[in-house]
Amino acid sequence: MRVQKFLSKNKIDSEKDLTTQVELWAYTIAKHYSISLLEVYSMPPRLFKQSLVWAMVGTEEQNKQNKQNKQQAKAGDREMVKLDYSFLDWEGAE
């Protein structure tokens, strides 16, 4: 299938790949905002880009929350402690 083949790639090789990428972005927006693809394709380019960014951020945050909920469910009554390793990135920046 064309979509599966595209998703397994790490880069855009052709005009067909670019078209598939835009279709994926349109689907992402439509799903996030519960609107039709026709409404997405009718958006001005700037609104399309802005909507895509927020849809992607929202999806990422939802995935993080789902992962956290799943871990909490596995932990049961035990207390969960979230560890912050961001200092590792900070030390390398100097």
pTM reported for the whole predicted model: 0.68
Summarised one tens digit per residue, pLDDT across range 30-69 is: 999 999 999 999 999 999 999 999 999 999 999 999 998 8
Q: Concatenate the DSSP letters of all residues of 28-50 into one string.
A: HHHHHHT--HHHHHTS-HHHHHH
Domain ranges of the chain: 2-92
Going by C-alpha positions, the residue among 18, 41, 12 that lies closest to residue 29 is 41
Could you give the percent of the chain with pLDDT greater than 90?
Answer: 51
